[in-house]
Every structure is written in C-alpha cells, then in structure tokens.
Chains A and B, each alone.
Chain A
Amino acid sequence: MKKQVIYRGAEAEIILSKYRGKPAILKHRIPKSYRIPHIDSLLISMRTKEEAKLIIEARSTGVSVPIIYDVDLQKGTITMEYLQGKRIKDILNNLQEKERKRLCQKIGESVAKLHTHDLIHGDITTSNMILLDDRVYFIDFGLGGKNSEIEAKGVDLHVLMEAFESTHSKHPSCFTYVLEGYQNESPALAKVVRVKIDEIVKRGRYR
C-alpha cells in the first residue's frame, strides 16, 4: 500500500494506516538530519514514549483523546484511532460567538482535568484539538509531561494564550472563555494558575 501522508507537521508525519483491518493513524516522528544522531534518536524515542504514556493517562482523567493501538520506540511510531473530525483551528473563527464561547469553555474544562492530574500537554494550540461528535479531542502530546508545579500548568495555558493571539486574534475573548471553563472544573487551581499566567506574561521580554 502506498504511504498516505495526511498531515506533515514540523516533527512528525501523520499517515493514514490500518490496524487489524480498521482505519488507523500512524504518527511517525521523522529523523532530522540537521541535528546530531545522538540528540535525534534520544528526542524521538523519548517523545514517542512520553506521548503514548500521556495519552493513555489523559484518557483516564476523562479527557477525550485517540485510543492507542500500538507503539514502536525504535521506529518512533504510535498507531492510534483515526478521528475523522475537524481541527478547532479551522472552525473556531467561523462560529457564532455563543458557540465559540461554549467550545472554548469545553477546552478549558478539559485542560483543567489534565492539570488536576498533573498532566501537562506542552503544546496546547487549536491545531492540536479535533472536534468530533461534539467532543473536543486533544492530540499531539509530544512535548508534554507529568508535573505538579503551578509553573508548568501556567506555561501550558500561556502557550494556548499565545496561540489564540496569533491565530484567532479577531476573537480576543477566546482565552477568557477557556479560563472560565477551567475555573468551572477546578476553582481552586484556576485561582493560582491565573496569577501564575500574569506572572509569566510579565516575565516575557519587554513586557
């Protein structure tokens, strides 16, 4: 079968594949020849392993994620469920404000669920969320990890804040809605994380 690449990101190819006869997604981390083999193989196997672990743990917290079928650390591949939905990045700008608010709050609730279990996504952007059957699925945990510190949770949300600013700048309330959802899910965590985000913003250069 010819390799069918449905998306080529910065670090991996997303290939349409099959697992036991069922359609599946193969995420293949591509070796990069710009970096030395030592760093390259370490990053690829570490990130593949960490990602698979995080996706499985995220599922147990009630956050929607693809089901993992298989993992190969040497090849740097994860075989997982094929989610035939729409990227939030592509639809968010075209929604009615009310619907956009509902969706952003949902996103916030899911992020709070991850964070209350010390799961850090590491790259929360709207390109890494898929809407399917009115559920927001989180994909690409490749830069994530486990961390109980407020700092890590703040940075995690700050990445999303910056993504909104650069990709959905016409809808400045998105991040506020996310924080509302986050607060509904975990008021105590929301309180400290909000303070932390302000601190992170100020820490950035020239703020």
Chain B
Amino acid sequence: MITLGFEGTAHSVGVGIVHNKGKHCTVLSNVIKTYQPKKGGIHPREAANHHATSIADVLSESLKQSHLRFSDIDLIAFSQGPGLGPCLRTIATAARALALSLEKPLMGVNHCVAHLEIGRGTIKDCTDPILLYVSGANTQVIGFAEGKYRVFGETLDVGIGNCLDKFGRTIGLSFPCGPKIEQYALKATQYLSLPYSIKGMDIAFSGLLTAAEEYYRQGKPLEDICYSMQETAFAALTEVTERAMAHTEKKQVLLGGGVAANTRLRTMVGTMARERDASFYVPIKDLCVDNGAMIAWLGHLMYQSGTRMSIEDSVIDQRFRTDMVKVTWR
C-alpha cells in the first residue's frame, strides 16, 4: 500500500510518500520546506501563508522524487493536530482536496504519535520504545501502556526547543537557535548553576530560561551560559526519560523531534541507555524533524488496522493529545 502524508503543524510544510514491506516502512520521498521568520518566533498566520504558497511545489517535488504518479497513491494522510490552527487548517484543506479529487480515502493522524511510529517503522529492533520527543513546542516522554500511547512526563511550561530559541533571541541569534547554542557550548570553560526542575516525571524550563537570561545581563560568557543550559536541561530530560523506562520496565529508548539533532543530548540519552542495558535509537534526521513521511506511515497503520475517516470527521484539533488516540494497530 502506498500512502502520501501532509505535515504542517508549525514552521515546516512537508509531503512524504511511504510504502510498506510487511511491517517495515520504506520512505519513497520526503520533501520538507521550512518557514523562516524574518524576526522573532513563528507567526501562525505568516507560517500558514508560507505553507499555502509552498504546498503545491512540495507536493509535486515529492511525487517526482518517488517516481510515482498520483494514480499510484492508495491513501492520503495529514496531521490533524496538535499544532498551530492556521497551519493545520491549510494542510488539512490540501489533503482533503487531493483525497476528493483522486477519490482516495483520507486519514487524519496525531503528530506526536507519528514521531514514535516512524521510529518503530523504519528502525529494525525498535519495537516498543519510550520516546523522548523534543521539539520547539513539544517535550514529552511517551510510551505504549495498557492499550494506549501515554504521556509519562511532559513540560509544564515551554518546550525545550522553544526555551533554547527564546534564549537565542535574547542574545540576538536567528531561528533555529539550538544548533548555534550547541556550537557555543563546545567552547565553554565552566559550569554556571541553573535551576533543575523536575516534578515527578514532569519537567519545567521557564526558571532555567530566566536564570540564563540573567547571566547574560550580568555579562557572563555566552559559551558558559549555553553549555550550562544544555547540561542542565538535557540532564533533566534524560532523567525523566530514565524514570519512565524504569516505571514501565521498557528496554528501548527512541529520540525524536528537532532537538534530537543535538549531539550532546544524543550522547546523554545514549549513555543512560547503555548504563541500564537498554537500546538507543534515533531515526535519520529527515524523519526526526516534522515531516510528511511519518504522517503517511501512521496513516497507513491506522488504515490497515481498520480505522476510517470521513471528510466530516477530518476537522483539525489544535489540542489533539497523545493519549486521545485510539490505538488499533498494536
């Protein structure tokens, strides 16, 4: 079965095409285009405009790279939420239009669950992981338990990517700031104390952000602040992930989301996994960030396991929670 998926929950618009070989996912194409704000963070309307202008090109490019024709597509999937309303509505409209004109079934999927399923679909041996999902808006520790995807821990305020971006903007960096902060951190000479905030399995970053900005105002070296932010925030993320693994007795950990590109975070989670005899997995970069292939793959899994969606049910949900998803494929 061949599935085409539309992604567009935040700054990226993407179209991916996947094909299943048994239970394994083969990505035939995965084109992503990212909206770059001129200044500040993502403006939802501007991002949606960007997606509306780009989507036709992204779609044709994806089809071209897959060497397929529209008539080869069996199913159209799209991210139904969570995300920014205007962006979600834009790509949902595109997905509905394509599904209706091709007379193919439509499937709206949960974006967060898609991040986990693409790991299971594309990485051999990654069968039942705890996912540490770290992006701009989202920071969640997700795992499958008692018939559902459950959130074992999540941020109580901002996502880790957002926290790094906000600090980056304070010091005059352009979006995305994470990679630049990572570069600064490499040249640090000392650790500056920052609040380490864990409540049960949940986590908070706003105190850390305020303290880091205060260090900046005091004129402390940027390298040291960036290093200290990474060390503190990532240690806390690794700790909550380990707690979820201990709690659920799972032996696999998967990293997903844009911040998964950070080498230091990968090293920390990898070390944690090794020390508790667990396996550590990260999908390739284009499947870690927001992308259409993961949406297509989850759409495929849902359709194959009997889920159907009418156009009327395809309304977007900005607050579509991970634990609201009815899991029919596991």
For residue A9, CB closer than 8 A to chain B, the reply is yes
- Measured CB to CB, the nearest residue on chain A to B139 is A205
- Determine the distance from Cα of A205 to Cα of B81 in the docked complex, in whole angstroms: 12
Which residues of A1-58 are within 8 A (CB) of B? 8-11, 32-36, 38-39, 43
A170: shortest Cβ distance to chain B, in Å?
8
Indicate which residue in B138, B235, B242 contacts A10 across the interface (CB closer than 8 Å).
B242
For residue A169, CB closer than 8 A to chain B, the reply is yes
Q: Is the CB of A204 within 8 A of B154?
A: yes
What A residues does B320 contact at CB under 8 A?
A: 206
The A interface is mostly helix, strand or loop, or mixed, namely loop
Indicate which residue in A35, A169, A206 contacts B238 across the interface (CB closer than 8 Å).
A35
Indicate which residue in A125, A155, A204 contacts B199 across the interface (CB closer than 8 Å).
A155
Contact with B along A167-196 (1 / 0, CB 8 A): 101100000000000000000000000000
- Measured CB to CB, the nearest residue on chain B to A33 is B271
Q: Is the CB of B268 within 8 A of A34?
A: yes
Q: Is the CB of A32 within 8 A of B152?
A: no
Q: Is the CB of A39 within 8 A of B245?
A: no
A203-B156, A206-B319, A207-B319 known; A125-B272 Cβ under 8 A: no
A46: shortest Cβ distance to chain B, in Å?
9
Q: Is the CB of A43 within 8 A of B196?
A: yes
Q: Is the CB of A38 within 8 A of B145?
A: no
B270: shortest Cβ distance to chain A, in Å?
8
What B residues does A122 contact at CB under 8 A?
A: 199-200
B187: shortest Cβ distance to chain A, in Å?
16
Interface centre among A32, A34, A167, A170 (most CB of B within 10 A): A34
B283: shortest Cβ distance to chain A, in Å?
21
What A residues does B81 contact at CB under 8 A?
A: 206
Q: Is the CB of A11 within 8 A of B318?
A: no
- Determine the distance from Cα of A158 to Cα of B138 in the docked complex, in whole angstroms: 20
For residue A162, CB closer than 8 A to chain B, the reply is yes
Contact with A along B256-284 (1 / 0, CB 8 A): 00000000000111011001000000000
- Determine the distance from Cα of A170 to Cα of B243 in the docked complex, in whole angstroms: 23
Interface residues contributed by chain A, number (CB under 8 Å): 33
A129: shortest Cβ distance to chain B, in Å?
14
B235: shortest Cβ distance to chain A, in Å?
4
What B residues does A73 contact at CB under 8 A?
A: none
Q: Is the CB of B275 within 8 A of A33?
A: yes
For residue A127, CB closer than 8 A to chain B, the reply is yes
Interface centre among B150, B199, B232, B269 (most CB of A within 10 A): B199
What A residues does B201 contact at CB under 8 A?
A: 159, 162
Indicate which residue in A32, A38, A206, A207 contacts B191 across the interface (CB closer than 8 Å).
A38
What B residues does A35 contact at CB under 8 A?
A: 231, 235, 238-239, 268
Indicate which residue in A11, A38, A125 contacts B239 across the interface (CB closer than 8 Å).
A11
Q: Is the CB of B82 within 8 A of A206?
A: yes
Q: Is the CB of A10 within 8 A of B245?
A: yes
Which residues of B286-330 are within 8 A (CB) of A? 318-321, 323
- Measured CB to CB, the nearest residue on chain B to A203 is B156
Indicate which residue in B202, B231, B239 contacts A159 across the interface (CB closer than 8 Å).
B202
For residue B198, CB closer than 8 A to chain A, the reply is yes
What B residues does A39 contact at CB under 8 A?
A: 191, 196, 231-232, 235
What A residues does B199 contact at CB under 8 A?
A: 122, 143, 155, 159
- Determine the distance from Cα of A35 to Cα of B269 in the docked complex, in whole angstroms: 10
A-B contact pairs, 28 of them (CB 8 A): A9-B246, A10-B239, A10-B242, A10-B243, A10-B247, A33-B271, A34-B272, A35-B231, A35-B268, A36-B191, A36-B235, A39-B196, A39-B231, A39-B232, A125-B200, A158-B200, A159-B201, A162-B200, A166-B146, A167-B146, A169-B146, A170-B146, A205-B321, A206-B81, A206-B318, A206-B321, A207-B319, A207-B321
The 6 closest A-B pairs by CB, nearest first: A159-B200, A206-B319, A10-B246, A35-B235, A34-B271, A34-B268
